[in-house]
């Protein structure tokens, strides 16, 4: 495949909010926010909510009054819905090019090298209109010769009112104007520390940065900084990553719905995380040779001593069997648990991953491995068909995470007081319409 | 008939995008030993009910019906309607519209004096779209899934 010479970054506008609005059109024009797991912080805002001064990452309890006064619509994060809508957006975008990189849940890089320059603007609008019509999700499109410049173009496509959500940087003059308009902290790959340092040197915009000497940037901002510099000048250093490499570590952890003191409750949570994590492991056809479990008390509680511990164990042989992993995880947890503490979070990390096909079977365990692998296959198939809670272990307890009523939920389960329906992934959750 | 029952009994039937999930195999040979199946060369793909019911799974959504205003079009309370957002809502098609703060299924009719959303039950009245911002078409209804 030839290297890409024109990148489009397609970014969904306020993605989580937009997902909610597809099924609640009356929320168009109304301030909407979506909260993080456990209804902790604001993680997505509609433009109207931004205008009210609601900031990303603000704890919900701090803005409760504002929310009530201004009648802001609040949602718990509905990742099942967002995941399905994201998949629909990606699938729509794949109609426009075979070469596409899913960069995050709401962003994709597209290879538009095949277009003639004069076609780009129209094509961008066509992408935008098609995604909106098919999925209901509004997107912005930024097009340029490098990924970093496509990011710049995308930000301005949202900001410039006359751009209508599509901006293509083709000539040197267009690029210069865009770079001058872009604050240094908004450049892709420039973290807060580097931004601060650059501002002290009077490097305030992306344009200023692009004029910095290579040597200085390499010395002070390492190779990744140099890459950003070259990309701002229009020299592509990162091609599309169309195939996502399997992850090296897989982690599943959640804060509890409320602080926990009982080992039994924490075991329920950890075993559920372990099953999730093992499922992810098998989905990428890997086996893990190491298991780490961590457990912590509230970082912010002043009156209590912070207790934060983790234990790691190497396995005799890499495995993807959740039976094996559950046993080890429970063992590690027991070793760390101290009574009398109020715990807020537990998690599991599977490490030292190897492709399942490369696992060397030793003579004595191979029969067990084979048995487990067949069992896991069956479990995966059944869970895919009937939902991930269709088959659980006794240690996970008998409460369902999908339950809405407080009494049907275990104390470790995340709070989701403002959860919308599973409109696209559950028969019970479907949109109700009048006829 | 059997095909319909299987489609409806699946709890994950709303996953219309998953083209491989709802195959109804009408043909499969499981000969383990002995003479090879003479039909093996003619093996065909199983029937895919998703492909039958929608052309574009990416843009297809399901919704549950309440109310009896479309009974004349065989859309009854409790049915699931299949909605394709990628189709153009042309006059004469049944659509899912969002009007006056509510989702409603009606037949779209373009008449000389304007657009109407018409019921298929004499008990109900047509809705005339008087202003462009009165409502919007959410998608075009392309199918109905019933439990019998």
A138, pLDDT greater than 90: yes
How many CB pairs (< 8 A) connect A and B? 86
Interval A306-318: pLDDT, tens = 788 889 999 888 9
> For position A361, what pLDDT does the model report?
63
C-alpha–C-alpha distance, residues B137 and B63, integer Å:
15
**Binary contact (B98, A435; C-beta < 8 A):** no
A399, pLDDT greater than 50: yes
Interval A58-109: pLDDT, tens = 999 999 999 999 999 999 999 989 999 999 999 999 999 989 999 999 999 9
- Chain B residue set in contact with A, beta carbons under 8 Å: 10-15, 17, 21, 56, 58-59, 61-70, 75, 77, 80-81, 85-86, 96, 98, 101-106, 136, 138
Bridge partners, residue A431, by sequence: B63
**Binary contact (B66, A433; C-beta < 8 A):** yes
- In this complex, the residue of A134, A387, A431 whose CB is nearest that of residue B85 is A134
Q: Does residue A127 or residue A191 have the better pLDDT? A: A127
Range with the poorest average pLDDT among A147-156, A192-201, A287-296, A400-409? A400-409
- In this complex, the residue of B11, B17, B75 whose CB is nearest that of residue A386 is B11
Within 8 A of A433 by CB-CB distance, chain B residues are: 63-66, 81, 96, 103-105
Within 8 A of B62 by CB-CB distance, chain A residues are: 424, 430-431
- In this complex, the residue of B11, B64, B98 whose CB is nearest that of residue A25 is B98
- Distance of alpha carbon A256 from the chain centroid: 20
- Distance of alpha carbon A83 from the chain centroid: 9
Does the CB of A21 have a partner CB in chain B at under 8 Å?
no
Q: Count the residues in chain B.
A: 148
**Binary contact (A134, B136; C-beta < 8 A):** no
Interval B42-85: pLDDT, tens = 767 788 887 888 889 999 999 999 999 999 999 999 999 999 99
**Binary contact (B104, A432; C-beta < 8 A):** no
Q: What angle do CA A341, A345, A349 make, to 5 degrees?
A: 125
Interval A201-233: pLDDT, tens = 999 999 999 999 999 999 999 899 999 999 999
C-alpha–C-alpha distance, residues A407 and A390, integer Å:
20
Interval B10-54: pLDDT, tens = 333 333 344 334 444 444 445 456 666 777 677 677 888 878 888
Closest Cα in chain B, distance from residue A404 (Å): 20
Q: pLDDT-derived band of residue A362, with 50, 70 and 90 as boundaries?
A: low
> For position B18, what pLDDT does the model report?
40
> For position A1, what pLDDT does the model report?
55
Q: pLDDT-derived band of residue A234, with 50, 70 and 90 as boundaries?
A: very high
Closest Cα in chain B, distance from residue A399 (Å): 20
C-alpha–C-alpha distance, residues B24 and A317, integer Å:
40
What mean pLDDT comes out for the span A17-22? Answer: 98
**Binary contact (A87, B102; C-beta < 8 A):** no
**Binary contact (A134, B56; C-beta < 8 A):** yes
C-alpha–C-alpha distance, residues A168 and A177, integer Å:
12
Q: Suggest the residue from B19, B58, B65 to mutate for an interface test with chain A (most A CBs closer than 10 A).
A: B58
Longest Cα separation, chain B: 73
- In this complex, the residue of A135, A386, A433 whose CB is nearest that of residue B59 is A135
Closest Cα in chain B, distance from residue A424 (Å): 7
B94, pLDDT greater than 70: yes
Of the candidates A6, A13, A291, the residue with the CA atom closest to the CA atom of residue A132: A13
User: Searching chain A, which residue's CA lies closest to the CA of residue B20?
Assistant: A385
User: Searching chain B, which residue's CA lies closest to the CA of residue A422?
Assistant: B14
Q: Does residue B10 or residue A57 have the better pLDDT? A: A57
User: Searching chain A, which residue's CA lies closest to the CA of residue B120?
Assistant: A435
**Binary contact (B59, A26; C-beta < 8 A):** no
Average pLDDT, chain A: 91
> For position B8, what pLDDT does the model report?
34
> For position A69, what pLDDT does the model report?
96
Residue pair A276/A335 in contact (Cβ under 8 Å)? The answer is no
Does the CB of A2 have a partner CB in chain B at under 8 Å?
no
Catalytic residues of B: 69, 106
Percentage of residues of chain A with pLDDT beyond 90:
68
Q: What are phi and psi of A117, to 5 degrees?
A: -50, -40
What mean pLDDT comes out for the span A260-271? Answer: 93
Q: How many CB atoms lie within 10 A of CB A136?
A: 21
Interval A268-288: pLDDT, tens = 999 999 999 999 999 989 999
Q: Suggest the residue from A27, A136, A389, A433 to mutate for an interface test with chain B (most B CBs closer than 10 A).
A: A433
Q: Does residue A328 or residue A356 have the better pLDDT? A: A328
C-alpha–C-alpha distance, residues A372 and A352, integer Å:
20
**Binary contact (A435, B61; C-beta < 8 A):** no
C-alpha–C-alpha distance, residues A380 and A279, integer Å:
7
Does the CB of A87 have a partner CB in chain B at under 8 Å?
yes
Does the CB of A26 have a partner CB in chain B at under 8 Å?
yes
């Amino acid at each position: 495949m030839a290297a890409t010479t024109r990148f489009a970054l397609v970014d969904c506008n306020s993605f989580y909010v937009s997902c909610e609005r597809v099924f609640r059109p009356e929320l168009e024009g109304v301030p909407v926010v979506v909260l993080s797991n456990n209804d902790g912080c604001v993680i997505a805002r509609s433009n109207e909510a931004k205008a009210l001064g609601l900031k990303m990452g603000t704890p919900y309890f701090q803005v409760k009054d504002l929310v009530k006064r201004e009648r802001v619509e609040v949602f718990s994060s509905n990742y099942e819905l967002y995941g399905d809508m994201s998949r629909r957006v990606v699938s729509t975008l794949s109609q426009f090019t075979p070469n596409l990189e899913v960069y995050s849940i709401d962003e994709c890089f597209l290879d538009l090298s095949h277009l003639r320059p004069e076609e780009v603007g129209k094509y961008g609008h066509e992408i935008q209109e098609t995604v909106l019509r098919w999925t209901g999700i509004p997107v912005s499109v930024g097009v340029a010769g490098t990924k970093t410049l496509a990011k710049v173009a995308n930000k301005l496509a949202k900001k410039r009112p006359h751009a209508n959500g599509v901006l293509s940087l083709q000539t040197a003059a267009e690029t210069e104007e865009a770079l001058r308009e872009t604050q240094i902290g908004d450049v892709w790959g420039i973290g807060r520390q580097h931004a601060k340092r650059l501002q002290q040197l009077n490097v305030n915009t992306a344009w200023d940065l692009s004029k910095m000497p290579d040597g200085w940037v390499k010395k002070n901002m390492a190779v990744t900084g140099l890459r950003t510099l070259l990309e701002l000048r229009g020299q592509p250093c990162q091609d599309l990553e169309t195939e996502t490499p399997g992850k090296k570590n897989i982690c599943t952890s959640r804060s509890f719905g409320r602080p926990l003191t009982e080992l039994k409750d924490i075991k329920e949570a950890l075993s559920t995380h372990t099953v999730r994590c093992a499922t992810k492991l098998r989905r990428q056809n890997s086996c893990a040779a190491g298991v780490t479990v961590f457990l912590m008390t509230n970082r912010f509680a002043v009156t209590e001593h912070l207790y934060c511990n983790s234990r790691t164990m190497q396995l005799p042989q890499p495995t993807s069997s959740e039976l094996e992993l559950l046993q080890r995880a429970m063992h590690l947890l027991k070793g760390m648990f101290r009574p009398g503490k109020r715990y807020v979070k537990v998690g599991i990390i599977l490490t030292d991953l190897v492709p399942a096909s490369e696992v060397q079977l030793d003579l004595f365990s191979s029969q067990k491995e084979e048995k487990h692998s067949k069992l896991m296959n069956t479990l995966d198939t059944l869970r895919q068909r009937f939902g991930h809670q269709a088959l659980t272990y006794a240690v996970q307890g008998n409460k369902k995470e999908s339950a809405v009523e407080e009494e049907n939920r275990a104390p470790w389960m995340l709070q989701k007081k403002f959860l919308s329906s599973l409109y696209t992934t559950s028969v019970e959750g479907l949109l109700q319409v009048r006829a | 008939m059997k095909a319909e029952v299987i489609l409806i009994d699946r709890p994950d039937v709303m996953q219309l995008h998953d083209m491989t999930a709802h195959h109804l195999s009408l043909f499969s040979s499981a000969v383990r030993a002995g003479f090879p199946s003479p039909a093996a060369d003619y093996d065909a793909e199983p029937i895919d009910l998703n492909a039958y019911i929608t052309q574009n799974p990416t843009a297809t959504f399901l919704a549950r019906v309440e109310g009896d205003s479309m009974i004349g079009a065989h859309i009854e309370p409790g049915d699931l309607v299949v909605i394709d957002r990628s189709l153009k809502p042309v006059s004469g098609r049944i659509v899912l519209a969002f009007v006056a703060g509510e989702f409603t299924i009606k037949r779209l009719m373009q008449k000389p004096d304007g657009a109407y959303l018409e019921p298929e039950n004499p008990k109900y009245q047509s809705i005339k779209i008087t202003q462009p911002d009165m409502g919007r078409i959410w998608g075009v209804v392309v199918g109905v899934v019933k439990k019998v």
